[in-house]
A = this chain, B = another copy of it.
Amino acid sequence: MAGAPNIREVALRAGVSVGTVSNVLNRPELVAEPTRERVYAAIAELGFVRNDSARQLRVGRSRTLGLVVLDVANPFFTDVARGVEDTANQHGLAVILCNTDEDPRKEASHLDLLAEMRVQGVLINPIDIDGRITALRGRGIPVVLFDRLGDPAVECSVAVDDVLGGRLAATHLIEAGHRSILFVGGPLTLRQVQERYEGAAAVVSAHDDVELTVLTTTALNVAAGRAAGDRLAAGGRDALPSAVFCANDLLALGVLQALTHAGLRVPADVAIVGYDDIDFAAAAAVPLSSVRQPRQQLGRTAAELLLAETTEDEHEHRQVVFEPELIVRDSSVR
């Protein structure tokens, strides 16, 4: 009796059968009012809490959803996670958070665990797109990709149009009169970096008088940005581009810091545009212009697609592509 009263004890106390208690829990409208009240009372008196594993075992699936991200410490994923959590909670689902640290082995082991838990579905920003993901799907667990488009024949996916984002940034800078633009970002093997660059390059190629150069970085963090900024500043005032477009805000913050430190003024000497519009972009000493991605929206939509896949009879996979939006602040306006 101590510790964990079960449904049988509740039934005993309320003077009904276990089936009735279960009905009160799951389809209260089937149970007559006085009986229902008696059951509720018994539950309260015993402090009964439904054992979810037993329910799960019978029903076949759990009330959880797996979220697999590269790194929770990255504000981008944090905001996506918020969106996922909100939507999941609205549907009574809990979210299991997994970090992969860009390690395919960690990704695999997390997916194995989620499979054992029979989660309702998995939202993932995948590293290794095939392998286990296909296996999961084969086991009837829907998988939705986010921040990465997949094959619409087999899966739903949600992403942001990074090529468009690159176009927006470049168009803005050109319209502001800049004729030499430097793209800072890397590694170029990352799809996001690649596409942001392509977008900018497409716009620039339509203007004969505009020049686009590239400075590749090894990572997308503040330290890499600072290193890039130092290199720029070291080249001397004459070698400076008139504007810098960074593949994400962390890089942009690093560049901003290094340039300011070298005595250069932003945007007077060099304009800067970042990408992501993380909260700290607006909070920088020179508020950063940035290409905003609807991060929470991304998470919410991914979760909704997943739920649709589990509930709809005839599910058709969808690809949702969001449009980014340019937020102009001080760093790019003279």
Contacts and interface: CB of A to CB of B under 8 A. Distances in A.
A54 B52 CA distance: 11
B64 A96 contact: yes
Chain A residues touching B, range = 35 or more
Interface string A60-104: 001110000000110100110110010001001011111100000
A53 interface: yes
Interface stretch (A197-205, A283-291, A306-314): A283-291
B94 A95 contact: no
Interface in A214-273: 222, 226, 250, 253-254, 256-257, 260
A17 interface: no
A253 B283 CA distance: 7
A229 to B, nearest CB: 11
Interface stretch (A113-121, A150-158, A167-175): A113-121
A285 B284 contact: yes
A44 to B, nearest CB: 12
A23 interface: no
The 4 closest A-B pairs by CB, nearest first: A285-B285, A53-B56, A52-B116, A97-B97
Interface of A: 3-4, 47, 49-54, 56-57, 62-64, 72-73, 75, 78-79, 81-82, 85, 89, 92, 94-99, 106, 110, 112-118, 135, 138-140, 222, 226, 250, 253-254, 256-257, 260, 279-280, 282-287
19 contacts: A47-B138, A51-B116, A52-B118, A53-B53, A53-B57, A53-B62, A53-B118, A73-B75, A73-B79, A73-B82, A78-B78, A82-B99, A89-B106, A94-B114, A95-B98, A222-B279, A222-B282, A250-B283, A253-B280
